[in-house]
């Protein structure tokens, strides 16, 4: 494999992955029944879903959305809330009746890709799909996670504690033994900005350690920092501090790889925010 092909595999997990997942569960945890009434945006279905926020082993879940979070998209209202009031995304693995936001259920990845379902809410996707990624993934156009609905992705980018707080650090202690690392290698940092990359196409491909997703051309790019619209300066800073890792790999591949990476970086900058951040994320 040459140039950006190798770089894409190596740093596919370098961005701000949706929510806080950092590993894949080896098993399918059936502690919560995700076969909720559909469609999720019907009032009757929502009422039934909210009323079922008690797990089979009797562990109660919150019925109150955490104060300060953005408005929950209609499709995500069927999700359970954890005891802090955060919605538990569809992909999250459950252990001993409790969700671990750091661990993604491997079976859910297959379900989302094969059945064209949202990574965050579990409902069917439409024509437009959104990836929640970091700036390095905007360069190599590779993600370790399948896409979501646009509104679900916007919520994740603005509400996730890790994504909304640039100084937040992922807690790796106490990770369940029943998990495997996702494909690709990640830069161990909080990039400080998150990107919702809206596209109409993507392609899954086999990679060492699992499956990765090649992201199609963007229809829209929406940048976030601290839960708000990111400025061009914030995005540029994140890119500049993350690029050395990409260039280290490119130099190992030779001059052609470096030139190809130069081109990819220039291509990515076309999708950075304008010099003034938009006042409304809509």
Can you tell me the distance from the alpha carbon of 135 to that of 132, in angstroms, rounded to the nearest whole number?
10
Asked if residue 235 has pLDDT above 80, the reply is yes
Q: Over range 43-55, report the average pLDDT.
A: 40
Distance of CA 224 to the CA centre of its chain: 13
User: Structure pTM?
Assistant: 0.75
Asked if residue 197 has pLDDT above 70, the reply is yes
What's the pLDDT score for residue 175? 53
Most confident range (mean pLDDT) of 28-37, 167-176, 247-256 is: 247-256
Least confident of 33-42, 55-64, 171-180: 33-42
């Amino acid at each position: 494999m040459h140039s950006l092909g190798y770089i894409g595999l190596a740093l596919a997990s370098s961005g701000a992955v949706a929510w806080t997942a950092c590993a894949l569960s080896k098993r399918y945890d059936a502690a919560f029944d995700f076969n909720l009434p559909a469609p999720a945006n019907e009032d009757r279905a929502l009422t039934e879903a909210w009323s079922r926020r008690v797990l089979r082993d009797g562990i109660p879940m919150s019925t109150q959305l955490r104060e300060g979070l953005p408005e929950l998209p209609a499709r995500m209202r069927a999700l359970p809330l954890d005891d802090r009031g955060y919605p538990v995304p569809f992909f999250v693995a459950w252990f001993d009746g409790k969700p671990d936001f750091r661990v993604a259920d491997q079976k859910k990845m297959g379900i989302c890709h094969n059945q064209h379902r949202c990574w965050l809410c579990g409902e069917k996707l439409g024509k437009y799909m959104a990836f929640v990624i970091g700036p390095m993934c905007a360069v190599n156009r590779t993600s370790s996670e399948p896409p979501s609905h646009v509104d679900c992705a916007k919520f994740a980018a603005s509400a996730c504690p890790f994504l909304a707080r640039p100084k937040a650090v992922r807690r790796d202690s106490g990770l369940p033994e029943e998990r495997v690392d996702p494909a690709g290698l990640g830069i161990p940092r909080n990039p400080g900005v998150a990107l919702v990359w809206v596209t109409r196409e993507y392609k899954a491909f086999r990679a060492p350690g699992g499956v990765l997703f090649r992201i199609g051309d963007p229809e829209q790019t929406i940048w976030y920092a601290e839960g708000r619209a990111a400025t061009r300066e914030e995005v540029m800073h994140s890119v500049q501090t993350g690029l050395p890792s990409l260039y280290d790999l490119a130099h190992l591949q030779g001059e052609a790889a470096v030139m190809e990476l130069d081109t990819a970086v220039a291509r990515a900058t076309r999708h950075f925010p304008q010099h003034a951040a938009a006042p409304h994320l809509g």
